[in-house]
Structure 1
Amino acid sequence: MDIKQLRALLAVAETGSVTRAAEALHIVQPAVSRQLKLLEEDVGIALFERGRYGMELTESGEILAQHARRALLELDRARSEIQPSNAQISGIVTVGLLPSTSDLLAGPLLDEVKNQHPAVNLRISVGYAGYLRDWLESGEVDAALLYNPKATPTIQVQPLLEESLCVVGPWSAQLSSDRSIALADLAAWPLILPSAGHGIRNLLEQACPGTGMKLNVVAETNSMNVQKNLVVRGHGYTILPSIAVTEDVARKQLGASPLSDQELQRTIVLALPNTRRIPMAVRAVASLLEREMKLAVERGDWPTARWISD
Structure 2
Amino acid sequence: MDLKQLRAFLTVTETGNVTRAAEVLNLVQPAVSRQIRLLEEDIGAPLFERERRGMVLTEAGEVLVGYARRALLELDRARVEVGGVGQGVTGLVTLGLLPSSIDMLSSPLASAVAAAYPGIRIRIAMGYAGTLQRWLVTGEVDAALLYGVEQMAHIQTMPLIEEPLWVIGPKNSDLSPERPVPLAALTHQKLVLPSAPHGIRTLVEQACAAAQVTLDVSVETNALSVQRSLVLGGHGLTILPPIAVADDLRGRKLKGAPLTAPDITRTIVLALPTNRPTARAVRCTVDLLVDEAQRAVSSGTWLEGRWRG
Scaled by the length of structure 2, the TM-score of the pair is: 0.87
Q: Structure 2: how far apart are the matches of 1:258 and 1:88?
A: 47
How far 1:214 sits from its partner (Å)? 2.0
Q: Report the equivalent of 2:257.
A: 257
RMSD: 2.8
Q: Is 1:171 aligned to residue 152 of structure 2?
A: no
**8 Å contact from structure 2 (residues 21, 32) kept in 1:** no
Distance 1:20 1:148, change over 3 A: closer
1:129/1:146 contact within 8 Å kept:
yes
The aligned counterpart of 1:6 is 6
Distance (Å, rounded) in 1 between the aligned partners of 2:255 and 2:57: 46
- Contact 1:22–1:32 (Cα < 8 Å) also in 2: no
Return the offset for 1:36.
4.2
Task: Call closer, same or farther: CA 1:262–1:283 in 2, change over 3 Å.
Answer: farther
Structure 2: how far apart are the matches of 1:65 and 1:232? 37
Are positions 1:243 and 2:248 aligned together? no
Residue aligning to 2:292? 292
How far did 1:154 drift? 1.5
1:10 to 1:127, Cα distance in 2 relative to 1, 3 A: closer
- Where do 5+ consecutive residues of structure 1 fail to align? none
Counterpart CA distance in 2 for 1:106 and 1:90 is 19
Alignment of 1:110-259 (within 5 A): 110-259=110-259
Task: Decide whether aligned partners of structure 1 residues 23 and 106 sit closer, same or farther in structure 2, where only a CA change above 3 A counts.
Answer: closer
Long gaps (5+) in structure 2: none
CA contact (8 A) 2:207 2:262 kept: no
Query: Match of 2:293, as an amino acid?
Result: M
Structure 1 residues 161 and 47 mapped into 2: Cα distance closer, same or farther (>3 Å)? closer
Question: What is the CA–CA distance in structure 2 between the aligned matches of 1:12 and 1:214, rounded to whole Å?
Answer: 44
Deviation at 1:167, TM superposition (A): 0.5
Matches within 5 A, 1:63-74: 63-74=63-74
Change (3 A) 1:143 1:214: same
- Aligned match of 1:77: 77
Aligned 8 A contact 1:112 1:288 in 2? yes
Offset from partner CA, 1:172-214 (integer Å, 9 cap, x none): 1121111111112222222111111222111111112221112
| Structure 1 residues 212 and 262, CA gap change in structure 2 (3 angstroms) | closer
* Residue equivalent to 2:25: 24
Say if 1:136 and 1:142, in contact at 8 Å, map to a contact too. Answer: yes
> Per-residue deviation at 1:157?
0.3
Q: Which moved further from structure 2: 299-308 or 5-14?
A: 5-14
SS of alignment partner, residue 122 of structure 2: strand
SS of corresponding position for 2:96: strand
% identical equivalent positions? 50
Q: Which moved more, 1:244-253 or 1:210-219?
A: 244-253
Please give the alpha-carbon distance, in whole angstroms, between the structure 1 residues aligned to 2:190 and 2:30: 57
Matched residue SS, 2:153: coil
1:87-140 Cα deviation digits (max 9, x unpaired): 422222111111111121111111111111222221111222122212222222
Q: Secondary structure at the match of 1:6?
A: helix
Contact kept in structure 1, 2:167 and 2:238, CA below 8 Å: yes
How far apart are the structure 2 equivalents of 1:238 and 1:22? 40
Task: Spell out, residue by residue over 1:59-88, the C-alpha distance to the aligned partner (whole angstroms, 9 max, x if none).
Answer: 244543443122211232244345787542
Summarize the Cα distance change of 1:65–1:267 in structure 2 as closer, same or farther, 3 Å threshold: closer
Shift of 1:7: 3.0
Equivalent-residue separation in structure 1 for 2:245 and 2:24 (angstroms) = 43
Aligned letter for 1:80?
V
Change (3 A) 1:119 1:260: same
